[in-house]
Structure 1
Amino acid sequence: MARVPMDGATFDRSEYDRADQQFRLAGQKLPSVAVESLAREVVRRLAFRMPRTARKEDLPTQSEISLLCTALLSTDEDAADRIILAARRDGVDVDDIYLGYVAGAARRLGEMWEEDEISFVEVTLASGRLYRIIRGLRHVLASTFSDGRDERPALFALVPGEDHTLGIEIATDLFRREGWDVDMSLGQTHDALLEQSEKRSYRAIVLVAHSDRMIEPLTRLVLALRISQPLAHIVVAGNILNHHADIQHVVGADAVMEDIETAVETLRAEMDRPL
């Protein structure tokens, strides 16, 4: 059966497909313990999104949440998509879809996982489907995250666990001398970096890693940032590029910054690219 497309006015089909392919590729390229970490990250980040102003009558019932979870875990590839599409056609606000349906399903999946009602394979499948849905809705969800945030051009962040700081310091200094007003993050834990990033809305986020062992924390960080910064251009830099020829696709980045000589040009070109 052909897939039923969501409302083209609100749904980014190309990003939906890209997120789907990236999650599948990560499952093929990374060890199972890393894939489990990615699934937990998606579930945790989505589950913590709680409605602030939505009326109770606008939110889905527990039975509707259960129905969505069943769809996410089913062999029908598009069952969950059709539920979200039906809610949109019924006039459910996109914030209520995200904060009610998606976050509610993430919380329920997390509970089922903790209680051993579903397996690692099942929750990985479901979390990947949730992730591609919210990536498809990124344009209409953006205001949910950006309201009240300071707007900044870019954040240069060392991937948590990485301890080689010289490269990112040189790059940040280069951009600042070129007139860019950019932030830099060094030595932060994963959660602290996410907390810092959520205080501002960045047009671009450059993630720097060097060693091969950083592939899992880098991928997990990209997934988390995609949820909290849906419209940011995410770029990967550092010596880790030498270890993985397809790293851009494995971690789900928009671009890579291959060397310091072309760094400014690379980031400017990426930020000029329509999202």
Structure 2
Amino acid sequence: MEIEADHLLDEVEMLLEGGVGIDSIFVDLLAPAARKLGEFWEADACDFVDVTMGLWRLQEVMRELAMRAPPVSQALLQSPTALFAPLPGEQHGFGALMLQEVFSRNGWNSDVLLEPRKGDLLGAVAETGYDLLGLTISCDCPSDALSDLIAAIRGVSRNPSLQIFVGGNMINARPCIANEIGADGTAPDARSAVVLAEAKILGSRPFGQVTF
């Protein structure tokens, strides 16, 4: 956690020069590093400031890579739409940013909300008919509260067929929670989430290629 973002970027550039793809850097390097920070926090091996600074450095690396190699435009195709956000009340949005970037690179028209209030989230799905909403849940939250939130989202969604995926540390520890709270699916990482979303939402309709 003491390494600065530019030093991390130097290490990543060496991997890229060795033939590792940007999507793999996101999913197989940056995302596990973020999860490890969460494990340190849960084990009281670091404090909130350490976690925040560590995630900020990872986020800076991700943004720099995204700027260097932006997603290929899918303007001529009817791209599916997705919105990603952390659970209202959570301050860390690295997971949502990661999902937004990976889905964009796989042909989705995706948006992200950071540090949303419940009203922000409900307003977004009421205004735009997203195909998919992905919520990242890092901290423990009562199942009843999550069920109520998902029910509220469905109640106002402009798209009555909106698919809601949940993920993050809490869900990864107990994937069965996704079904219990009324979500449509969960995946352990962004790569798996893209595959699941294509299967559930797009079916056999081609629109692009998964690039992993």
User: Shorter-chain TM-score: which interval?
Assistant: 0.5 to 0.7
Matched, 1:160 2:84: no
The CA deviation at 1:156 is: 1.0
Q: Is residue 86–residue 95 contact of structure 2 (8 Å, CA) maintained in 1?
A: no
Q: 1:194 aligns with which of 122, 131, 156?
A: 122
Which residue does 1:263 correspond to in 2?
193
Which residue does 1:8 correspond to in 2?
none
Q: 1:181 aligns with which of 88, 109, 117?
A: 109
Give secondary structure in 2 for the equivalent of 1:154.
Answer: strand
The CA deviation at 1:217 is: 4.0
For 1:258 and 1:196, how far apart are their aligned partners in 2?
Answer: 25
Which amino acid in the other structure matches residue 182 of structure 2?
Answer: G
Q: Is residue 186–residue 193 contact of structure 2 (8 Å, CA) maintained in 1?
A: no
Give secondary structure in 2 for the equivalent of 1:179.
Answer: coil
Which amino acid in the other structure matches residue 84 of structure 2?
Answer: F
Give secondary structure in 2 for the equivalent of 1:271.
Answer: helix
The CA deviation at 1:185 is: 1.2
For 1:212 and 1:243, how far apart are their aligned partners in 2?
Answer: 10
TM-score, normalisation: structure 1 = 0.41
Matches within 5 A, 1:200-215: 200-213=128-141, 215=143
Structure 2 unmatched runs, 5+:
1-78, 205-212
Q: 2:152 aligns with which of 224, 244, 248?
A: 224
The CA deviation at 1:170 is: 1.2
Bigger RCO (CA 8 Å, 6+ sep):
1
Q: Is residue 88–residue 116 contact of structure 2 (8 Å, CA) maintained in 1?
A: yes
Give per-residue Cα distances to partners, 1:199-255, cap 9 Å, x unaligned.
111111111111112644432221111112231111111111134342122210111
Matched, 1:251 2:177: no
Identical aligned pairs, as a percentage?
A: 31
For 1:214 and 1:154, how far apart are their aligned partners in 2?
Answer: 25
Q: 1:165 to 1:215 in 2, by over 3 A?
A: farther
- Aligned positions, number: 124
For 1:273 and 1:223, how far apart are their aligned partners in 2?
Answer: 25
Q: Is residue 159–residue 217 contact of structure 1 (8 Å, CA) maintained in 2?
A: no
For 2:179 and 2:116, how far apart are their aligned partners in 1?
Answer: 25
Q: Is residue 162–residue 214 contact of structure 1 (8 Å, CA) maintained in 2?
A: no
Greater share of residues in helix: 1
The CA deviation at 1:165 is: 1.2
Q: 1:152 to 1:200 in 2, by over 3 A?
A: farther
For 1:261 and 1:273, how far apart are their aligned partners in 2?
Answer: 17
For 1:178 and 1:272, how far apart are their aligned partners in 2?
Answer: 13
Higher Rg: 1
RMSD (CA atoms): 2.2
Matches within 5 A, 1:1-275: 153-213=81-141, 215-229=143-157, 230-272=160-202
The CA deviation at 1:181 is: 1.0
Which amino acid in the other structure matches residue 132 of structure 2?
Answer: A
For 1:224 and 1:236, how far apart are their aligned partners in 2?
Answer: 15
Which amino acid in the other structure matches residue 251 of structure 1?
Answer: I
Which residue does 2:42 correspond to in 1?
none
Which amino acid in the other structure matches residue 200 of structure 2?
Answer: E
Q: Is residue 156–residue 206 contact of structure 1 (8 Å, CA) maintained in 2?
A: yes
Structure 1 unmatched runs, 5+:
1-150
TM-score, normalisation: structure 2 = 0.53
Q: Is residue 155–residue 202 contact of structure 1 (8 Å, CA) maintained in 2?
A: yes
